Amino acid sequence: MIEFLGTGSARPTKDRNVSSLLLHHAKASFMFDCGDGTLRQLINSPIATPTRIEAIFITHLHSDHYYGLPGVSVAFRETEDESGYEFDTVKKRPVFSPRGLKSRMGRLLERQLNIEEFGTGKMEKSGVHYDNNLPLENHVIYENQYLQIAAFFIHHAIPSAAYIVREKPTRILDLDLLKQKYNMPPSPLYAQLQRGLSVTFNGRNVKPEEVSQELSGRCIAILGDTCNPNGLIPYIEGCDVVVHEATGLEMDKTSILQKFHSTGAMAGQFAKRVKTKQLILNHFSPRETMAGLPCSEADYQKRILEEAREAAGSDIKVTAAYDHMAFSIPRKRERNAHFNRAM
């Protein structure tokens, strides 16, 4: 599940905080960007639990994307009572970022966070920045038993990253079949079957393909600020969800491009090129003028959504994110009541 904590750009408004989102997966959470005020958004979240955050990923070092780190890091302190005294026990989380975060906030964050930087800080004129200094093969910077997260650079005014989250394949057991056909109660044998191993129970050989379904992993592309992410296309074609900035309207495209941002229509065109199923727009401008005339922030953003949908086409679902919006991503599976599990 994706939970948007902040969906505005540059500065907060009464309805939108600046950039941050959480990916909730397998009882853990992963934060992408952490603009100022993110701690308050976490506190007000009906879903998030700060201590479940396993890692933080910063897309780029503009203030509306990382100034909230000191506040959020405080939420990681867990207070223990022992012999009448209080002790701070802190599990240090990794925070991944393009090069430069350590020099800006290293001393401030060192008690709660391990800063892991990537990239040389050099900029390419367009597309992906193929950087040999990324720490692992295939740009993978984080991996656990459930998923991999890879980083690629996309074009912006400063080095800006896109994070590609790929879930590993998994097996979902048909619990009713195990009980009815094999009379097998819950036991460690279940874990072996989920790992794709055959087991023996009551003298019968039980194969995993007989009692489970292998589900291919989901893919989520979370893009930082950009005016040209086209170099990502070979890596995310067919991705389930693309999160893309939509700073403004086509009528304002010249000024938006001058700041290396994208319009809603540009986001829609990119979604069409990568053949995604779902485009989610964020990073909306707080602009309150349209064609030189006053308008509400909501009306301006509604028009951004309309332009994105028109550019993406009818085969792609386009959604405008709002603060505390939660979005579940269905698994790639057959419709079967026994196999029902959401990210």
Taking the C-alpha atoms of residue 132 and residue 130, their distance in angstroms, rounded to an integer, is 7
Asked if the model's pLDDT at residue 37 lies above 50, the reply is yes
Cα separation, 15 vs 158, whole angstroms: 27
Alpha-carbon distance of 60 to 98, in angstroms, equals: 6
Q: What is the mean pLDDT of residues 317-324?
A: 97
Both tokens of 305, joined, read: 């959504």
| Residue type, position 232, single letter | L
**Dist CA 323 CA 328 (whole Å):** 15
pLDDT, residue 283, reads: 96
Provide the pLDDT for residue 78.
Answer: 59
pLDDT at 134 exceeding the cut of 80: no
Q: What are phi and psi of 139, to 5 degrees?
A: 65, 15
Q: Is the pLDDT of residue 13 over 60?
A: yes
Name the pLDDT band for 336 (thresholds 50, 70, 90): very low
Per-residue pLDDT band at 333 (split at 50, 70, 90): low
The three state secondary structure string of 232-253 is: HHHHHCCCCEEEEECCECHHHH
Least confident residue range of 132-141, 192-201, 268-277, 287-296: 132-141
d(CA 21, CA 34): 8
Strand, helix or coil at 113? Answer: strand
- The maximal CA–CA distance of the chain, rounded, in angstroms, is 79
Is residue 327 predicted with pLDDT exceeding 80?
yes
pLDDT of residue 335: 34
Distance between CA atoms of residues 313 and 110, nearest Å: 46
pLDDT exceeding 70 applies to what percent of the chain?
87
Does the pLDDT of residue 263 top 60, yes or no? yes
User: How does pLDDT run across 229-259, given as a tens digit for each residue?
Assistant: 998 999 999 999 999 999 999 999 999 999 9
Residue 59: pLDDT over 90: yes
Quick: pLDDT tens for 106-129.
999 988 899 999 886 555 544 444
Give the active site residue among 33, 36, 64, 131: 64
Q: What is the per-residue pLDDT for 121?
A: 52
Lowest mean pLDDT among 68-77, 169-178, 287-296: 287-296
Contact 164, 143 (CB under 8 A): no
Q: How many CB atoms lie within 10 A of CB 343?
A: 22
Q: d(Cα 11, Cα 9) in Å, to the nearest integer? A: 6
Name the average pLDDT for the chain. Answer: 86
pLDDT confidence of residue 125: 46
Query: For position 66, what pLDDT does the model report?
Result: 97
Tokens of 187: 């036991």
pLDDT at 103 over 90: yes
Query: Is there a catalytic annotation at residue 64?
Result: yes
- Section 216-235 average pLDDT: 93
Q: Comparing 251 with 89, which gets the higher pLDDT?
A: 251
Whether pLDDT at 73 is above 60: yes
How high is the pLDDT of residue 112?
87
15-34 average pLDDT score:
95
pLDDT confidence of residue 319: 97
* Torsion angle in degrees (nearest 10) through CA of 271, 262, 57, 317: -30
Q: What is the pTM of this model?
A: 0.85
| Residue 326 burial by Cβ neighbours in a 10 Å radius (0-12, 13-18, 19+) | middle
What is residue 49's predicted lDDT score, i.e. its pLDDT? 84
**Mean pLDDT across 288-307:** 84
Tokens of 190: 């279940």
- Please give the C-alpha separations between residue 328 and each of 111, 143, 208, 331, 342, in angstroms, as whole numbers: 34, 21, 27, 9, 7
Which run of H or of E encompasses 175?
A: helix 175-182
Buried b (16+ CB within 10 A) or exposed e, 40-54: ebbeebeebebeebb
Residues 6+ apart with CB under 8 A from 270: 229, 230, 242, 244, 262
